[in-house]
Amino acid sequence: MRPWDGTDPTGRYPYPAEDANSMLVDGEGNVWYYTREKTPQLMIWCAASRLVAHLHRLEQIGARK
C-alpha cells in the first residue's frame, strides 16, 4: 500500500490532501486508514467500487455549509 493522495479515478472529486495524508490506498484502489486506538487497526475507509460516489457525496455535504 502507498499513501493516498486524495484523488479518485475520475479526478473530479478530490478529497482534502491534509485529511488524506493519514490514509493508504492499495493496488485495487481501496482506501484504508488506521484507527486511533491504543493498538491501531487497519480499517477500510472506502472500497474502490464506491470511491467516486463517496467523494461526490462528501462534496455535496461540504457545499451545504
Bridge partners, residue 44, by sequence = 32
Rg (CA), the chain: 12
Per domain, the residue ranges of the chain are 2-63
pLDDT for position 23:
94
Q: In a 10 Å sphere around its CB, with 0-12 CB exposed, 13-18 middle and 19+ buried, how is residue 51 labelled?
A: buried
In sign, the C-alpha dihedral spanning 10, 51, 20, 1 is: negative
- Summarised one tens digit per residue, pLDDT across range 10-60 is 989 988 878 888 899 999 999 999 998 899 999 999 999 999 999 999 999
Instruction: Inform me whether the pLDDT recorded for 61 exceeds 80.
Output: yes
